[in-house]
Structure 1
Amino acid sequence: MQATPQSLERKSPLHDFLAPNSIAIVGASSDPTKRGYKAMVGLIKDGFKGAIYPINPKADMILGARAYPSLEAIPYGVDLALICTPANTVPGLIELCGKKGIKGAVILASGFKEIGGEGVKLEQQVLDAARAGNVRIIGPNTSGMFNLHQKVNLLALANVKPGNIGFISQSGNMLLSLVLEAEHNGHVGFSTYVGPGNQTDIGFNDYLRYLGEEPNTKVATLYVEGFRDGQRFLNVAREVTARKPVVVYKSGSTEQGKKAASSHTGALAGSYGMTVDLLRQVGVSVVQDSDEILPVAEGLGLMQFARGKRIAVISDGGGQATIASDRLSEAGLEIPELSAATQAKLREVLFPQASVVNPVDVAGSTDANPALLADCMAIAAGDPNIDAVFLVGMFGGYSIRFAEDLLGGEMRGAEAMIELAKHTEKPLVVYSLYAPVKPPALRRLHEEGVPVYPSIEHAVRALAALGERGIYLAGLDAQATGPAIEEDAEMQAMFGRAQNEGRDLFEYEAKSLLRTHGVDVAPEAIVSNPAELGEVAARMGDRPLVMKVVSKDILHKSDAGGVKLNLQGEAALREAFDQIMTSCRAYDPNADIRGVLVTPMARKGTEIIIGVVRDPIFGPVLMFGLGGIFVEILEDVAFRSIPVSREDARSMIDQIKGRKILEGVRGEPPVDKEALVDLLLKVSGIVSAYPQLSELDLNPVIAYPDGYAVVDARIITNRSVASN
């Protein structure tokens, strides 16, 4: 079992009020239907040891606590205010919080920016008051918060077990779902919960930093509809994931989901695929299905990581071993061959008919002695080719299915598994079909932190997350970004000219930028006078040439007849020049045509696309994929936040589904992946060096066994950023 990670150095101001010693309930009530009543009940029932100050001008006492007519009437200091009153009262109350020196406020009311119009103005008033008074606010439009280890339960939820999972969720119903699931599971518990609501002040990055530092939290878990500042979140996540696991479920994976998220919280939901890639880049475990959140969080919280993805499967049933093998393979996990020594040890304890290859099928060997399963797990855990052990079958149910006197053997097996978990760094994961009935042996495993899942799929997802995290941690030393690129004065001037003319870079200018910073770009010539074509033809040699129109007004050159291919010799160039000019002037009589670009045609190879966009949420993002149908229809692309490391660049190439094409198919040689890695690093560096670059599109780039060719390059300028 892995050691508990140390908490991060305390940097977050949220500790001051998410673990409060005194709480004011503004809108406290004796009416059981009101949130001000339920919050009081939650604090009292859970045994909150701090001071509770109900605020209600019409009451002297509420639930045995002295009530005050207003915040300013409280004669003592207050750490946190829970505001249960309507939206229109909130700006004034936040102003009073500031005057009182209250550090944080939880605003339950809705009716702010999520409804638009006047709600937007009202929310701005709340934020202005908070900043003026140095008050941090949770919400508005929040479900509330709890800190179970501090006995702070402002949601008044019953039967919520304290534990090591911190949860931040933009949906209160998602919290209820996980709480009920945890109650049924009987083992998983929570540390802190916050509903961020509209994130008017405190965003996901702030909450994540807090959970990363909070000592009772071993895994930070988030349900996200939209990030307010994705770039800052990635920076914080990179820090936190180096110390403890972070699990994210990102909703809005469809257009319909994005619309629902926007109407619910007013959040801007970005591209789902891009968001997932960027989160994984910084070590976040992303779950695809909502019912995976708790199983994955539990596995990571208990075991932290596995050193790799090599799994030993121990099974007492062939069918479930097959299912487990299918799910493991689909999840990208490996089922390697066990060493000869491991197989020999297994043969010593199992019946002759047992299969000791991986997966191991005990074939009835454990029917009379279920404790033998623990011996098999220990043997497998000792194999150097194995990173985690997965027990699949009916452990815990032998005494139910066969004979009651097998209970002792199952309990001995459970104790042996617990001891093994304490002395091995390799995670032990159990799937039992008897998990729903909670027999004694499985309850014992739960009590000692050995995860037991009622679903093969959930167990596999936890194993995958453990392996992914282990590989990420092992590669942290290789995460240094590529060397910085120094901006070039001539290139800065080029950007300035384009910005002054209100245009994007011409293709030849984009290629000049690439060439200046070490990208391999073919020679080219800009021709405005056909008399120059003879000299160009002689300089380019015998290679077939391509000619393209140069015009800021003609973006789709082929549609305008502005591209000619396979040109050789001066005569062919002159004829092509005339045809391009005639076609383009007919296409747009007012187009500003600067001439034509002449460059050698690229030889055949594998088309890829490299792009950059400055995303409004995450900042500059790099994209890589195969060209043609793969990007247009299949959307088989990978994203990474800029700047990228060499490992990031390699992982982009390996991530796409069409990577086998790059590795060579049907007798074709593999492409030069390291050349593509270098190209991605250079593009990342260029984008970092030139903020005037808004978007970049290299499409296509032709990949070869010995390099690449940038066939077309387009760079869109950011007119709002001045050149130096």
Structure 2
Amino acid sequence: MNPIEGHLPTRSPLHDILAPSGIAVVGASADPTKRGYKAMVGLIKDGYRGEIYPVNPKADMILGVKAWPSVTAIPGNPELALLCTPAATVPGLIAECGRRGIKGAVILASGFAETGEEGAALEREMMEKARAHGVRIIGPNTSGIFNLHHRVNLLSLDNVKPGDVGIISQSGNMLLSLALEAQHNGQVGFSTYVGPGNQSDIGFNDYLRYLGEDHHTRVATLYVEGFRDGRKFLEVAREVAAMKPVVVYKSGSTAAGQKAASSHTGALAGSYAMTVDLLKQSGVSVVHQSDEILPVAEGLGLLQKARGKRVAVISDGGGQATIASDRLSEAGLELAELSEATRAKLREVLFPQASTVNPVDVAGSTDANPSLLATCMEIVAADDNVDSVFLVGMFGGYSLRFAESLLGDEMRGAEAMVDLSKATEKPLVIYSLYTPVKPPALRRLHEAGLPVYASIEHAVRVLSALGERGQYLAQARGQSREQSVEPRPELTAMFHAARAEGRDLFEYEAKRLLREHGIEVPLELVVRSEQELTDAAGRFGETPLAMKVVSKDILHKSDAGGVRLNLVGEAAMHEAREAILASCRAYDASAEIEGVLVTPMAKKGVEVILGVIRDPIFGPVLMFGLGGIFVEILEDVAFRSIPLSRQDAESMVEQIKAKKILGGVRGEKPVDKAALVDLLIKVSRIVEAYPALSELDLNPVIVNADGYAVVDARVIVERDSETTDKDADA
């Protein structure tokens, strides 16, 4: 089943666990300082409809509910157990849960893999028991769960209303922050929350699949410190994002943050920039500031998507219109070019001094009649050049700022905006400086499900997410996977030979791999003797040549003096060969030198770099960027998970900040982007076909108006025995 058609191919087993018909609270307590007490209070106060089974061998009743001395003594059939006991007791309790037929356990205790080897051993013992008895584990080291639509509140949080935002957060404090923010907002409610903890069993991809299937959840929201199985998460994210928005805040964007994430959860935190690109490739809306999480989740939940990134701004103040325009541009959005017909209609209702170009500045036209703002929104929303409408200013506060008699006009304006939101598929987003005051007109918009923000920046981030999601869905529907290639036996044998010799592919072997799969590689010759050099000179004639050392022991040729450029004629070639051999022997006297590689100099063009790694979390990943300072200092690169679609490859080329250079600067012709996209796709196919390819580095590749030239190629061979077996089978 294609996930675009509307549902995931399999049902998550988490439904029974997260919406259980009975719950055992192991370690239930009458002590208000204990989690076993708080969980009982949360279930009772929220009116949980299922059976509650407190387990405590020292009590007959807890908070008016009959207690049981052990899990196995429970008479009913709870589907979920909450373990509020110390870490050392957990393995034995999991075995008891399994014998009782309990399907899942929420383990609050810390003291497992996040604390060191002793804790890791305890976690392994716990998982052995869980697998043997068929018990799924949430945690350990989890903050807990709630499912508000089923009145399952194991955190005992107060004043959190049911809604359609599902949250998975590796930080319990982040949940508390979002819950408090939601209380202040008054509009956002939650469906399910899970703290995944150490993810010893159930991981982010499992929780995301559940939220994708949960009909109470309109937007899945995740706070992530580290993934266990990032590649599986990307796969599930693509399926879920086709049906509903997925919002991720990934912490660990700095080296310090990554270290903190690892020590906090025992999770691996990879490259932040790479993770963001891969998440976006899978349709995820990534937020970079913690205070953006809830606004973006709310906006996407309410509005879902925009057709594109063209925004019409309507403002009752020039300064804020300018600020909005700046933020929109910085976010990669466009100010829509309003049609002449739209501008004419605006001129009919606004004062002559009003500006009807985008951003529209009403210039006092609404001071005596604020409902005109709704009229302007309706006019611009009808323009085919507009994808979203952004109202900026003081709507809702006219009756407070000018005259109480304007309240009626503001309420009529609010009703007109509500009617417009029902009549158009284009998102309507409102920023008002009076939002914190919650005046009646803004409360009416809130009640009707229109997002109203107290920050221009938050509103713009929502507009950006809506546009990105709309574009992703449009591309995903027309996206088809590029045809794969079959590995060739002679090239597979080349990998085996290199591995047997304990080396990586020689450059000429790496280029052969590329050439055999349709990548244009210049003619090159390996010269091992004076006679072969003479033969090569005769073959190339007066063509300017490059010469590089061939040695399994010298990876960085330039550092060893193993490269000479612009060689013309046999004499220059002989002199260069001697210099290269002498320099490389001085660099590493023990290096085994096979010879030198001779190839024509590449034509003038733009240097780019293509790199592939097999990331331990996300699997094979392709990197692209401009070469030189752009990759070394500015780190202006794009990442995509392999395999690539054509849209993926095209978006990589368009993503880099220095892409204008590819379009031609200072009189240079634009490079052949189609050839570059084709190169990216062919590299992706090669990586899929040869599991023994651990890393690939094409640096530089010279691109120009006529295509590209692969100047240097390096392939690192996987040494792992399992990969050897897979490659042999291929």
TM-score by length of 1: 0.98
1:7–1:215: 8 Å Cα contact kept in structure 2? no
* Residue type at the aligned position of 2:171: S
2:6–2:242: 8 Å Cα contact kept in structure 1? no
2:414–2:441: 8 Å Cα contact kept in structure 1? yes
Give deviations 1:215-262, integer Å, cap 9, x for gaps: 000000000000000000000001000000000000000011011111
1:529 deviates by 1.2
Which residue of the partner structure matches residue 132 of structure 1? Answer: 132
1:597 deviates by 0.8
SS at match of 1:313: strand
Give deviations 1:167-206, integer Å, cap 9, x for gaps: 0000000000000000000000100000000000000000
Q: Aligned pair in 2 of structure 1 residues 9, 563: CA closer, same or farther (>3 Å)?
A: closer
1:308–1:468: 8 Å Cα contact kept in structure 2? yes
Which residue of the partner structure matches residue 288 of structure 1? Answer: 288
Q: Distance in 2 between matches of 1:276 and 1:223?
A: 13
1:672 deviates by 0.6
Which residue of the partner structure matches residue 581 of structure 1? Answer: 581
1:457-472 correspondence runs (5 A): 457-472=457-472
1:10–1:213: 8 Å Cα contact kept in structure 2? no
Q: Distance in 1 between matches of 2:564 and 2:136?
A: 62
Which residue of the partner structure matches residue 249 of structure 1? Answer: 249
Q: Aligned pair in 2 of structure 1 residues 596, 231: CA closer, same or farther (>3 Å)?
A: same
1:646-657 correspondence runs (5 A): 646-657=646-657
Give deviations 1:464-491, integer Å, cap 9, x for gaps: 0000000000001343232211111111
* Residue type at the aligned position of 2:466: L
* Residue type at the aligned position of 2:381: A
2:346–2:376: 8 Å Cα contact kept in structure 1? yes
Which residue of the partner structure matches residue 40 of structure 1? Answer: 40
Give deviations 1:91-142, integer Å, cap 9, x for gaps: 0001111111101110000011111021010011111111111111100000
1:218–1:301: 8 Å Cα contact kept in structure 2? yes
* Residue type at the aligned position of 1:190: F
Alignment of 1:615 with 2:615, yes or no, is yes
Q: Distance in 2 between matches of 1:589 and 1:443?
A: 78
Question: 4+ residue runs of structure 1 moved beyond 6 angstroms?
Answer: none
1:8 deviates by 4.1
Which residue of the partner structure matches residue 451 of structure 2? Answer: 451
Give deviations 1:389-431, integer Å, cap 9, x for gaps: 0011111111111111111111111111111111100000010
1:7–1:214: 8 Å Cα contact kept in structure 2? no
Q: Distance in 1 between matches of 2:622 and 2:153?
A: 43
Moved more, 526-535 or 295-304: 526-535
Alignment of 1:120 with 2:124, yes or no, is no
1:336-485 correspondence runs (5 A): 336-485=336-485
Give deviations 1:529-551, integer Å, cap 9, x for gaps: 11122221121232111111111
SS at match of 1:625: strand
SS at match of 1:475: helix
* Residue type at the aligned position of 1:303: L
Which residue of the partner structure matches residue 107 of structure 2? Answer: 107
Which residue of the partner structure matches residue 75 of structure 2? Answer: 75
Which residue of the partner structure matches residue 640 of structure 1? Answer: 640
Which residue of the partner structure matches residue 309 of structure 1? Answer: 309
* Residue type at the aligned position of 2:59: A
Q: Aligned pair in 2 of structure 1 residues 10, 20: CA closer, same or farther (>3 Å)?
A: farther
1:692 deviates by 0.4
Which residue of the partner structure matches residue 496 of structure 2? Answer: 496
Which residue of the partner structure matches residue 149 of structure 2? Answer: 149
1:478–1:647: 8 Å Cα contact kept in structure 2? no
Give deviations 1:661-699, integer Å, cap 9, x for gaps: 111111111111111100000000000000000000000
1:342–1:379: 8 Å Cα contact kept in structure 2? yes
Q: Distance in 2 between matches of 1:167 and 1:333?
A: 28
Q: Distance in 1 between matches of 2:215 and 2:10?
A: 10
1:567 deviates by 1.4
Alignment of 1:15 with 2:3, yes or no, is no
SS at match of 1:160: coil
Q: Distance in 2 between matches of 1:346 and 1:192?
A: 45
SS at match of 2:526: strand
Alignment of 1:664 with 2:664, yes or no, is yes
1:10 deviates by 5.3
Give deviations 1:68-96, integer Å, cap 9, x for gaps: 00111111111100000000000000111
Moved more, 612-621 or 350-359: 350-359
Q: Distance in 1 between matches of 2:578 and 2:53?
A: 85
1:530–1:577: 8 Å Cα contact kept in structure 2? no
Which residue of the partner structure matches residue 529 of structure 1? Answer: 529
1:560 deviates by 2.3
Q: Distance in 2 between matches of 1:140 and 1:298?
A: 30
Runs (5+) with no aligned partner, structure 1: none
* Residue type at the aligned position of 2:208: L
1:357 deviates by 1.1
Alignment of 1:277 with 2:277, yes or no, is yes
Give deviations 1:429-452, integer Å, cap 9, x for gaps: 010000001111111111110000
Q: Distance in 2 between matches of 1:95 and 1:379?
A: 66
* Residue type at the aligned position of 1:444: R
Which residue of the partner structure matches residue 170 of structure 1? Answer: 170
Q: Distance in 1 between matches of 2:10 and 2:514?
A: 43
* Residue type at the aligned position of 1:147: N
Q: Matched residue pairs, number?
A: 721
2:7–2:243: 8 Å Cα contact kept in structure 1? yes
Which residue of the partner structure matches residue 543 of structure 2? Answer: 543
Q: Percent identity?
A: 74
SS at match of 2:446: helix
Q: Aligned pair in 2 of structure 1 residues 10, 689: CA closer, same or farther (>3 Å)?
A: closer
Q: Distance in 1 between matches of 2:561 and 2:312?
A: 61
SS at match of 1:206: helix
* Residue type at the aligned position of 2:501: E
Q: Distance in 2 between matches of 1:500 and 1:365?
A: 80
Which residue of the partner structure matches residue 97 of structure 1? Answer: 97
Which residue of the partner structure matches residue 239 of structure 1? Answer: 239
Runs (5+) with no aligned partner, structure 2: none
* Residue type at the aligned position of 2:114: E
SS at match of 2:82: strand
1:163–1:191: 8 Å Cα contact kept in structure 2? yes
1:479–1:648: 8 Å Cα contact kept in structure 2? no
1:582 deviates by 2.5
Which residue of the partner structure matches residue 49 of structure 1? Answer: 49
Which residue of the partner structure matches residue 219 of structure 1? Answer: 219
Give deviations 1:24-49, integer Å, cap 9, x for gaps: 00000111111111111111111111
1:586 deviates by 2.8
1:589 deviates by 2.3
1:335–1:358: 8 Å Cα contact kept in structure 2? yes
SS at match of 1:597: strand
Over the aligned positions, Cα root-mean-square deviation in angstroms equals 1.2
Which residue of the partner structure matches residue 673 of structure 1? Answer: 673
1:563 deviates by 1.6
1:588 deviates by 2.2
Q: Distance in 1 between matches of 2:404 and 2:519?
A: 73
Q: Distance in 2 between matches of 1:602 and 1:473?
A: 40
1:9 deviates by 5.5
Q: Aligned pair in 2 of structure 1 residues 9, 688: CA closer, same or farther (>3 Å)?
A: closer
1:6 deviates by 5.8
2:528–2:594: 8 Å Cα contact kept in structure 1? yes
Q: Distance in 2 between matches of 1:587 and 1:343?
A: 72
1:642–1:688: 8 Å Cα contact kept in structure 2? yes
SS at match of 2:480: coil
TM-score by length of 2: 0.98
Q: Distance in 1 between matches of 2:522 and 2:228?
A: 42
1:164–1:301: 8 Å Cα contact kept in structure 2? yes
* Residue type at the aligned position of 2:404: E
SS at match of 2:270: coil
Q: Distance in 1 between matches of 2:569 and 2:467?
A: 59
